[in-house]
Amino acid sequence: MTIGTGTPPIRPVARTAAERRIARELALEPGGPPSLRARLAGRAVRALVKTAWSSVPDSADGLIRFQRLSGLASRAQTVPPGVAIAREDLGTCSAEWVRAGAPDERKVLLYLHGGAYFFGSARLYRPSSWRLSASTGRPVLVLDYRLAPHYGPSDALDDALTAYGFLLESGYAPGDIVVGGDSAGGHLALALLLELRRRGTGLPAAAVCLSPWVDLRCASDSHRLNARSEAVIPAGKLAWLGRVFTAGKGAAHPLLAPRHADLAGLPPLLLVASGSEILRDEVRDLAERAQAAGVGAVYQEWDGLMHVFTVFADFVPEGKAAFRHIAEFLRRTGA
């Protein structure tokens, strides 16, 4: 399912068998059945990630235990030749510059990783960040914001504001910046847009939100309907985290439920979700509300894939294709 205007897919000239395979993968569009490789990868991720997350207790110690597991996984992440990695100290937090090839330094993409606000890192996301840089032709700054259990979403928002301010101070105009994020990072990207608008700070040219967790209350029907088909997130664990993060906050607080915020005036949005994930309905709703508010929002729903399938693009053909769609969206919006 795709809501919004589209452009013809890019199909590069392919001469070898490997090039033809890559061209077929890049040409994939939402609406078709998941590929065999995507189905196999989903089973592997379910056995590893969802099972491991389900096994830790709902406590600070449980969060730290899973953090350590993801930290171990991050050590295995590599990037291909021609990709440059550099650390950036931002004070309360840090970030990682990722440059694939020779990107256009006049533009930049600020990326906010996922992980339910308690795990994940720039290093863990290198398989995504280098593809973002390569496909969009710009450097990517991946933020290592502060995580639970010692910090919460409001601290992560402060760090995102710091990173955005750093880019402005570095000479980038708001129109030269694109903000992206997945899962909790997609939520953080939306919260950042709303806070920048409230402060009167120039908004970025566009935002890309991949399977964003746009309502920390986990109130959408798909949290129940897709609890079994969801391959990454244990629904009960995410709901517990949502209760922790929303305790004492109003139900319509824009940081906690940006899907219910006034979305008028936001830049163009690309919203991507899987039809099988528990966050599906809230992303659908956000897209509809954004379009009703006059925002240039494009919604893509891919059938039968795992949550944030772009993270697994090394194994999931649809993940590779999604980066082409991101690049096309930015070109189409002039971002």
Which positions are annotated as active-site residues? 183, 277, 307
Mind spelling out the 3-state secondary structure of 154-184? HHHHHHHHHHHHHHHHCCCCHHHEEEEEECH
By the 10 Å C-beta count (0-12 exposed, 13-18 middle, 19+ buried), 296 is classed as middle
Q: What is the DSSP letter of 134?
A: H
Residue 238 CA to residue 218 CA, distance in Å, equals 8
Residue 116 CA to residue 153 CA, distance in Å, equals 9
Three-state SS at 316: coil
Cis bond before residue 149 (omega within 30° of 0)? yes
Pairing of strands 108-112, 269-274: unpaired
Scan for tokens 């163009």, then name that residue: 268
What is the CB neighbour count within 10 angstroms for residue 47?
11
Please check whether residue 38 is in contact with residue 50, taking contact to mean a CB–CB distance below 8 angstroms.
Answer: no
The DSSP-derived string for 62-130 is HHHHHHHHHHHHHTT----TTEEEEEEE-SSSEEEEEEESS--TT-EEEEE--STTTS--TTTTHHHHH
The helix (run of H) or strand (run of E) holding residue 190 is: helix 184-199
Pairing of strands 83-89, 94-100: antiparallel
Scan for tokens 């995410």, then name that residue: 238
